[in-house]
Structure 1
Amino acid sequence: MQRWSRRRTHFPLLALFFSVFILASILYNERNIGQIHESKDQQVPITHKNFLTSVPPKVSTNNEPKLAAASLDRFTTCASTQQYHGRRTETVYHKLEFSQRGGKQQSCDLFSGKWVFDNTSYPLYDESDCPYMSDQLACRKHGRTDLGYQNWRWQPHNCNLKRWNATEMWEKLRGKRLMFVGDSLNRGQWISMVCLLQSVIPVDKRSMSPNAPLTIFRAEEYNATVEFYWAPLLVESNSDDPVNHRLNDRIIRPDSVLKHASQWEKADILIFNTYLWWRQGPVKLLWSNEKSGICEELDGIGAVELAMEAWADWVASKVNPLKKKVFFVTMSPTHLWSREWEPNTEGNCYQEKNPIDMEGYWGSGSDLPTMRVVDKVVDRLRSKVSILNITQLSEYRKDGHPSIYRKFWESLSPQQLSNPASYSDCIHWCLPGVPDVWNELLFNSL
């Protein structure tokens, strides 16, 4: 397995604390990831808070919380909370042997390389030519004038990526369902894939389903779909509504992916991710057989391990690699602290125009302990799961985030407007941009 880089940049403990605090604030205010189009005459103000937001939240008239519902939703609460007692599920995943490894061995490490400026071949599409572009990711539309972020090509060491070809990709997808499953970063990769593919399909032969937990782009002549399913924590949670998930507490069923698996199990090619939503702090666990509404509480790293194991059990028991391809995308890094790549500065990704040229650079936006948890779980599934290790190559791209050049949803105060870095989105990625390269890597891996 492609291992994570071990090089780290060091900074004071106080900076780490504030980094976690800011990221927690961002995630707490996340609302919706599902909407792609907005009405042209809909007036939506902007906000410095909702970095993971795409549409304003819907208002529900149901204000009464409920305890331990059969299926979790945003009104589910815990009757009480106690310390995690160490419970785990002894199922298929734990019985797999490490010798169950297989799959095609690549002659070249596609994930190790450098970024090369190439304004001849890149970008692979024009932002304004993709009718499915998200206003959250359309940086040029929202005022960004330095467009060099669109012109960087990923160059692996000692080999080349196969050139992107939309028609060839559609042939790989003919008669198949390609589904991205995860959070807003995986949704960004899905939008990138749709933008990369849609131009070769006649307008009357393509369609996009209404926005929902499962959103589907369909190409009739290939009898193929490219889909996105909102499941930010992989297991069932109270954050599974793609619109309403602004919550004080994250509550998960650590032993159950059944609700989500019923949506993704019939896809032919699956692209999973999970990461950011585990960095908010402690997570509450409500086990499937718990009838009294009593939750346990566990730190984010422990909770993501339980969730990954539940996901891995589904993969181990349900995935036939001869019929279904499964990929897991590693962490997408954030760039919240410029002092990590430029000492003695106090900014973030705002006004960054070039990649980091320090090979092996590693910032605090990529959390090694969490990555090791994912590594440990996925390592047992190597005969069934392939890794798309986008972390190191994305670490270099401090210039690729929307920063202030995206649509927000609430008005900014004069104080905020005077300090653009305070509301910069250094989590998501402009399109065209970095996620297109993730999809080129996927194209080369199919």
Structure 2
Amino acid sequence: MKETRKQFIAASSLGMKFNFLHLQIAFVVAMFFLLMAAYVSREISRTSSSSSRSSSSTEVYDQKKDMINEITSDTTGQTAFSSCDLFSGRWVFDNKSYPLYKGRQCSLMNEELACEMYGRKNLNYQYWRWQPHHCDLPRFDAIDLLEKLRNKRVVYVGDSLNRNQWMSMVCLIESSIPDRPKTLHYNGSLIAFKALEYNVSIDFYWEPMLLESNCDDPTNHRVSERIIRGQSIEKHARNWNDADVLVFNSYIWWRQLKLKILWGSFENVDADRIYEDVEMLKAYEMALTTWFEWLDSHVNRSKTRVFFVSSSPTHNRAEEWGKPKKHKCFYETEPIYEEGYWSMDSDPNMMRLVEKYINKLSSQGFNAQMLNITQLSEYRKDAHPSMHRKFWDQLTHEQLTTPNYHTDCTHWCLPGVPDVWNEFLYAYLLYPPS
């Protein structure tokens, strides 16, 4: 009996031991699964959080991208990144990121604009960057522009200052495709540059008065009495009516009190030919009216973008910035720092007329802008060729020994100010107004 009881107690004790061991194992297993569940939950949470942050980052990136791409514009040419006026700002000296190309490496450079080649020693004029007050200009990228313009034609139409801007664009592009095929052809008033790989044409067409005139010869046009053939634009316009981008400039040739308007033909001398002396602003508006009417009836609004560059200032009056009158721009090596400086040679009334017709084009469904380069260029008395260019006439001893007598304070050295004008054009083309 005692033995049986002992065995029962032993068996009972053994069972209790096994039950306690099972409880321990169950507890360990439970804790293992609890820890695993916590780990899995944490990883899911981390993944979800990471995904959320990634999604948030993508949204922020997209928002920034939209802000960069969202250039708004009114019809007066006030272009903006988030309502920022690109044309209001200051010049900042920047010899790290400027110039955008080397003048000596532009094989197509016009000798009238190659100031370094023609002996200019102070090259600081190349290192000034235009900084708008409340935003940044997008940095010019020639390859991006060529891709944007693939299979398209750009035509600069106007006078030698527009040719100055065209030459800047050619150098900007050529510097980025130095070893790629390109051509340059001259055909009367038309100069055609082509980047063959992209099938992009960047052309210049000589038309200083917008209308047919006695100044139409691209090389022999030094005339003191300007004569404009009234309402006659077709002779010129048929050379650029297929353009995808038109960049106009017409200002300096109008700067006299009166001009003659011809009602008739230059070719046919007959009794019906009538000349009329017209006050300059009235004649300028007549030309702009004809220009507007031609665009309105001939240009494809859904295809062609129209730009009009405001007047390019001259710096022939050194007394306006406190220097002796005869100095002009010859000795100048720095910009004018007075914000709002405006010379007597720049006519705001002409600019208002251009603005008026740009507004009319926009109201007719055109993608048209005015590039308001006048004020910012007024500051740059330091950036003209002066005597550092090729002169096509043989200079006299007096002219050579008295530089101010024959100095060029109208055109611009390259690299230089016209590169900034093209940066504005680039901003409009790559980030079009909404």
* 1:301-316 to 2 correspondences below 5 Å: 301-316=281-296
8 Å contact 2:264–2:274 — kept in the other structure? no
Q: Give the TM-score, by structure 1 length.
A: 0.74
- CA 225–142 in structure 1, closer or farther in 2 if over 3 Å, else same: same
- Deviation digits for residues 115-166 of structure 1 (CA, Å, limit 9, x no counterpart): 0000001111111111110110000110100000000000001100001111
Shift of residue 102, structure 1, vs aligned partner: 10
- Deviation digits for residues 342-361 of structure 1 (CA, Å, limit 9, x no counterpart): 26654211110011101111
Q: Which structure: greater helix fraction?
A: 2
Verify: 1:370 aligned to 2:342, yes or no. no
Query: For the residues of structure 2 that align with 1:310 and 1:233, how far apart are their CA atoms?
Result: 12
- CA 298–104 in structure 1, closer or farther in 2 if over 3 Å, else same: closer
- CA 145–162 in structure 1, closer or farther in 2 if over 3 Å, else same: same
Which residue is equivalent to 2:53? none
- Deviation digits for residues 61-94 of structure 1 (CA, Å, limit 9, x no counterpart): xxxxxxxxxxxxxxxxxxxxxxxxxxxxxxxxxx
Query: For the residues of structure 1 that align with 2:389 and 2:261, how far apart are their CA atoms?
Result: 35
- 348, 362, 371: which is aligned to 2:328? 348
Shift of residue 278, structure 1, vs aligned partner: 0.6
Query: For the residues of structure 1 that align with 2:395 and 2:182, how far apart are their CA atoms?
Result: 38
Verify: 1:444 aligned to 2:424, yes or no. no
Shift of residue 368, structure 1, vs aligned partner: 1.9
Q: 1:437 aligns to what SS in structure 2?
A: helix
- CA 281–118 in structure 1, closer or farther in 2 if over 3 Å, else same: same
- 381, 389, 397: which is aligned to 1:414? 397
Which residue is equivalent to 1:427? 410
Verify: 1:268 aligned to 2:251, yes or no. no
Query: For the residues of structure 1 that align with 2:144 and 2:317, how far apart are their CA atoms?
Result: 40
Unmatched runs of 5 consecutive residues or more in structure 2: 1-73, 430-434
Query: For the residues of structure 1 that align with 2:427 and 2:316, how far apart are their CA atoms?
Result: 31
8 Å contact 1:127–1:138 — kept in the other structure? yes
* 1:147-162 to 2 correspondences below 5 Å: 147-162=123-138
Query: For the residues of structure 1 that align with 2:318 and 2:230, how far apart are their CA atoms?
Result: 36
* 1:33-432 to 2 correspondences below 5 Å: 106=80, 107-201=83-177, 203=179, 205-288=181-264, 292-342=272-322, 346-382=326-362, 383-384=365-366, 385-432=368-415
Q: Give the TM-score, by structure 2 length.
A: 0.76
Q: 2:380 aligns to what SS in structure 1?
A: coil
Query: For the residues of structure 2 that align with 1:335 and 1:102, how far apart are their CA atoms?
Result: 26
- CA 423–343 in structure 1, closer or farther in 2 if over 3 Å, else same: closer
- Deviation digits for residues 383-432 of structure 1 (CA, Å, limit 9, x no counterpart): 42211110001000000100010011233333333321121100000000
Which residue is equivalent to 2:10? none
Shift of residue 260, structure 1, vs aligned partner: 1.1
Q: 2:302 aligns to what SS in structure 1?
A: coil
- CA 104–110 in structure 1, closer or farther in 2 if over 3 Å, else same: closer
Shift of residue 364, structure 1, vs aligned partner: 1.3
Query: For the residues of structure 2 that align with 1:270 and 1:294, how far apart are their CA atoms?
Result: 32
Shift of residue 261, structure 1, vs aligned partner: 1.1
Query: For the residues of structure 2 that align with 1:371 and 1:320, how far apart are their CA atoms?
Result: 25
- The runs of at least 4 consecutive aligned structure 1 residues that moved more than 3 Å come to 100-105, 288-291, 343-346
Deviates more, 1:199-208 or 1:320-329: 199-208
Query: For the residues of structure 2 that align with 1:392 and 1:313, how far apart are their CA atoms?
Result: 29
- CA 279–101 in structure 1, closer or farther in 2 if over 3 Å, else same: closer
8 Å contact 1:338–1:349 — kept in the other structure? yes
Query: For the residues of structure 1 that align with 2:124 and 2:253, how far apart are their CA atoms?
Result: 30
AA in 1 matched with 2:357? V
Deviates more, 1:121-130 or 1:418-427: 418-427
Query: Percent of pairs identical after alignment?
Result: 52
Which residue is equivalent to 2:23? none
Shift of residue 101, structure 1, vs aligned partner: 6.4
Shift of residue 371, structure 1, vs aligned partner: 2.1
Query: How many matched pairs?
Result: 347
8 Å contact 1:255–1:288 — kept in the other structure? no
Query: For the residues of structure 2 that align with 1:103 and 1:129, how far apart are their CA atoms?
Result: 33
RMSD across aligned positions (CA): 2.1
Q: 1:442 aligns to what SS in structure 2?
A: helix
Query: For the residues of structure 1 that align with 2:251 and 2:79, how far apart are their CA atoms?
Result: 26
Which residue is equivalent to 1:24? none
- CA 204–375 in structure 1, closer or farther in 2 if over 3 Å, else same: closer
Query: For the residues of structure 1 that align with 2:209 and 2:247, how far apart are their CA atoms?
Result: 14
Deviates more, 1:200-209 or 1:292-301: 200-209
